[in-house]
Structure 1
Amino acid sequence: MEIYNSEEQQVEAIKRFWKENGTAIIAGVVLGLGGLYGWRYIQDQQLESTMAASSAYTELLEQQQKASDSPELLAQFQTFVDDNSDSSYALLAAFVAAKDAVAKEDYATAAKQLSWVATNATQPEIKALAQLRLARVQNEQKDYTAALATLALAVPEAFKAQQQELIGDVFWSSGELAKAKSAYLAAAAANKDAQNPILKVKLDELAHVTAA
């Protein structure tokens, strides 16, 4: 490091430093401020987008409550999902659309909505919920191969019991009672101390069956 013997030398050194590096420093400050304001602009844009999606979602739910039997409602939900695909509200809308579709026994539409959620959700719990509901729909469609493939996907530990019970339901629907009982027993084991009266009824119904 250079040692300065006088104030004049220090001043001259500072002048040389700014002459050599001043442009780069100023540019860095400008870019830094630009990045800061740019980030704030992005945040503001994201907030506006989220608020708009929230408002549109609320309006859509109000329309659903007023006219749940409207044939146009599912199309409106689909439009909302398409227009807000980057928003968490799109996931909620897809769940609601799937529920309405199931109520109308439009299982193809329900499967489409739930598949979209399962593919696009980033939270493991949301993804798992969509997968399990999709498997139920596929079971209703008697597409047992697809349902079992969906149920083979990984889920968080908290969903294991429900997953195994649904596997049992699919096997029961397809007539494979031994495999159904095996899955129900696995569900009961995963439930641990939790009570599941419906699962108990299923196991009682298969009391005469030897688990696979």
Structure 2
Amino acid sequence: MAIDDLLDEHEQGERVRSWLRNNALTLVGGVVLGIAVIYGWRWWGEHRLKQDHQVHAAYEQAIRQTEAGADGASAALSGQEGVYATLAALRVAKVQVEAGKVDEAVATLRGIDADPTLQPLVTQRLAQLLNATGKQDEALKLLEGETDSAALELRGDALLASGKRDEARGEYGKALTALDVASPARRRLELKLQDAGGHVPDPAEPI
């Protein structure tokens, strides 16, 4: 090997060592950050799994209480959050309604800290129960500003039950406009509109 080659290798080695000295903190920081991300992700996964187990246990307890005729089942789900918790609470409310415990179902729905993606469903279920128990004013207030077809239909139901046929007709008409032509709910809405004294237009005809 020539002397020049040895000098080149020595120079290259010095450059590498110099670069490592200058960038040691950055390298160490990157490694530490990578390890932190890995462990943080693992911790988050285990935390979510633990939360799901807690929600499932609370859900099972609430269902057992309801089926056994005990009161206060919704308290078992208090403080639970997330999509799974919201779905569990909706299921508990359904079981409570089937058991004739409508007031408890209302309490369960009111107590849900709903995931944003499921909030409209929770709101509509609650409004449906409020309508069924003669609390139309509360249902209307709850649905104020909602533009979803199901919410508009529930507003129509509340107004019709309150004797406000003209306003109910308007809400049913808007609900039909917002509803897909092929929706299975369309026929039910058409009947409600007719019952309120409205005219069911052709799908291509503006309401």
TM-score where L is the length of structure 1: 0.70
**Structure 1 residues 37 and 190 mapped into 2: Cα distance closer, same or farther (>3 Å)?**
closer
Task: Extract unaligned runs of 5+ from structure 2.
Answer: 1-6, 200-207
Q: Which AA in structure 2 matches 1:121? A: D
Q: Which AA in structure 2 matches 1:205? A: D
Whether the 8 Å CA contact 2:109–2:126 is kept in 1: the answer is yes
- Secondary structure, in 3 states, of the residue corresponding to 2:67? coil
**Structure 1 residues 92 and 133 mapped into 2: Cα distance closer, same or farther (>3 Å)?**
same
1:120 equivalenced with 2:136 (yes/no): no
1:165 equivalenced with 2:134 (yes/no): no
Give the structure with the higher percent helix: 1
Whether the 8 Å CA contact 1:53–1:87 is kept in 2: the answer is no
| Deviation at residue 193 of structure 1 after TM alignment | 4.3
Matching residue within 92, 96, 106 for 1:97: 92
RMSD: 3.1
Task: Extract unaligned runs of 5+ from structure 1.
Answer: none
Matching residue within 70, 78, 90 for 2:75: 78
Matching residue within 104, 107, 111 for 2:106: 111
Alpha-carbon distance in structure 2 between the residues aligned to 1:208 and 1:163: 19
**Structure 1 residues 110 and 200 mapped into 2: Cα distance closer, same or farther (>3 Å)?**
same
Alpha-carbon distance in structure 1 between the residues aligned to 2:143 and 2:70: 31
In the TM superposition, 1:43-82 aligns within 5 A as 43-54=45-56, 56=57, 59-60=60-61, 63=64, 68-72=67-71, 75-79=72-76, 81-82=77-78
**Structure 1 residues 21 and 198 mapped into 2: Cα distance closer, same or farther (>3 Å)?**
closer
**Match of residue 3 from structure 2:** none
Alpha-carbon distance in structure 2 between the residues aligned to 1:190 and 1:31: 50
Whether the 8 Å CA contact 1:148–1:170 is kept in 2: the answer is yes
**Structure 1 residues 188 and 11 mapped into 2: Cα distance closer, same or farther (>3 Å)?**
closer
1:145 equivalenced with 2:137 (yes/no): yes
Percent identity between the aligned chains?
A: 25
**Match of residue 124 from structure 2:** 132
Whether the 8 Å CA contact 1:60–1:77 is kept in 2: the answer is no
Aligned length: 190
Alpha-carbon distance in structure 2 between the residues aligned to 1:110 and 1:206: 29
